[in-house]
Structure 1
Amino acid sequence: MRIAVLDNDRSQADLICQVLTAAGHSCQSWDSGKELLAHLRKDSTDMLILDWQVGDMDGADVVRKAREKMPGNMPVMFLTSSSGEDDIVAGIGAGATDYMIKPLRRGELVARVQAMLRRAYPSQNGAEMLQFGPYVFETRPGRLLMDGAVIDVTHKEFYLALLFFRNIGRPLSRAYIHEAVWIRETQVPSRTMDTHVSRVRNKLQLKPENGFRLVPVYSYGYRLEKLGA
């Protein structure tokens, strides 16, 4: 899905796009409300994420003007630093679908975005199939195959494996893995994550002869490596 992000904090916008791109979406960011609206006049998007406090325009005005140009079912999520009821009511009243309070949690961001897109575009949310060498991920209903044979994995093992394959060659920190897979579980013992990683490595036979290797990154996290040409 195509997602447009409006945030005049460049590092925040880059983080949002990084997280959503890793989750399989196409993401583009702007730091000006006027530039975003100019883009929407020429091209469409499937979802809009915007900071409520943008330098050149009021967030409510951006949402209202975007709604004039985009289909009514397009989900809009606004980001706010305040948990005050007035800001939230104003955002929803202007046409936003949902909101998140900063600082953002990566796992929660992905979960909320996926849920909003499923509700907005039900016909486009069939069983997505992703293939990486001999491995096939069917995201709904969460089935994993290797060389055509089903691998018995739990829900968390499935999404942990998919997270690694969507980020081949990229070191993933423990904090990032925790937020992406465990989402709302605030206290996850280190050994729990290590156990799940070990099970994924064994069940998927992530070893050189199968073309992949799942390795620890000292004092940081884990990285899935693709071997050979």
Structure 2
Amino acid sequence: MRIALLEDEHEQAQHIQSILSEKGHHCDSFPTGQSFLGAVLHRSYDLIILDWQIPDMTGIEVLENIRAQLNWPVPAVFLTQRDSETDIVRALDAGADDYIAKPARAAELVARINALARRSNPEIEKEVLVYGPFEINTNQRIILLHGEPLTLTDKDFDLTLFLFQNQGRLLTREMLLERVWGLTRDINTRTVDTHMSRLRRRLGLNPENGFRIKTIYQRGYRLEAIKPGDANEIRNDDTANA
């Protein structure tokens, strides 16, 4: 998973990053609320971890900003020394999914993060996923549109599955290269653009089928559910930008 960590104590941040890295997670650390917000609102993270006491604002304020501005419910965990019942309730009311008191034990931290990731996307383990007229069989690696099988390459299938499982979420080109292609080094992101342009045509992503791939300028893509009645307002202008 890609994880964003809000922690202003450098040694503590390095310790948490080391724990998560050993378990195969990628963790970016930010020392201030503003730098954390800038990253989470403009990049793609699977989960966020927040401290409560930070220099420029509280972790609660950071989370409230994220919940108000981000268009998908990124799982959020508080990791803080504040452990009173009042604090825990306040964090949960602000939109936190879990609350861990410092000092966090490595095994517990990893277990809770993994459990939260499973709960936040229960469809990952399903064999057949249905999204409107689209039916995705993850075992047979087949996608049906209105009951008819689509002709797709293996990479087309992987990309389609990832898009639907992250519907409504901004997915950067770098994240798609990492999660779909398995590439972590810097390469030409035109690979993603080419596949997206082709996928729009092959999947029939249009208002009549209830979905479109939206190009987010200089950032990435987002699969959006749309209503057939919005066809007059929605045009596939993404193709020109892909």
Give TM-score, length-normalised by structure 2.
Answer: 0.49
Distance 2:124 2:96 in 1: 22
**1:123 Cα deviation from its structure 2 partner:** 3.3
**1:116 Cα deviation from its structure 2 partner:** 0.2
- Paired position in structure 2 for 1:101: 101
**1:71 Cα deviation from its structure 2 partner:** 4.4
Superposed structure 1 runs of 4+ greater than 4 Å apart: none
Compared CA separation, residues 116 and 71, structure 1 to 2 (3 A):
farther
Q: For the Cα contact (< 8 Å) 2:67–2:73, is it kept in 1?
A: no
**What SS does the aligned partner of 1:104 have?**
coil
Distance 2:89 2:107 in 1: 25
Q: Kindly provide the amino acid, as one letter, of the partner of residue 122 in structure 1.
A: P
Q: For the Cα contact (< 8 Å) 2:52–2:82, is it kept in 1?
A: no
Distance 2:105 2:6 in 1: 18
Q: Kindly provide the amino acid, as one letter, of the partner of residue 97 in structure 2.
A: T
**1:4 Cα deviation from its structure 2 partner:** 0.3
- Paired position in structure 2 for 1:120: 120
**1:76 Cα deviation from its structure 2 partner:** 0.4
- Paired position in structure 1 for 2:14: 14
Identity value in percent: 41
Distance 2:72 2:40 in 1: 14
Q: For the Cα contact (< 8 Å) 2:79–2:100, is it kept in 1?
A: yes
Q: For the Cα contact (< 8 Å) 1:40–1:69, is it kept in 2?
A: no
Compared CA separation, residues 118 and 85, structure 1 to 2 (3 A):
same
> In terms of mean alpha carbon deviation, does 9-18 or 106-115 score higher?
9-18
**What SS does the aligned partner of 1:5 have?**
strand
- Within 5 Å, give how 1:175-190 maps onto structure 2: none
Q: Which runs of 5+ in 1 are unaligned?
A: 127-229
- Paired position in structure 2 for 1:45: 45
**What SS does the aligned partner of 1:83 have?**
coil
Compared CA separation, residues 23 and 124, structure 1 to 2 (3 A):
farther
Distance 2:66 2:37 in 1: 7
Cα deviation, 1:89-137, whole Å, max 9, x if unaligned, reads 11111111110001110000000000000111223458xxxxxxxxxxx
**1:85 Cα deviation from its structure 2 partner:** 1.0
Distance 2:91 2:78 in 1: 7
- Paired position in structure 1 for 2:78: 78
**What SS does the aligned partner of 2:79 have?**
strand
Compared CA separation, residues 103 and 120, structure 1 to 2 (3 A):
same
RMSD: 1.8
Q: For the Cα contact (< 8 Å) 2:4–2:40, is it kept in 1?
A: no
**1:2 Cα deviation from its structure 2 partner:** 0.8
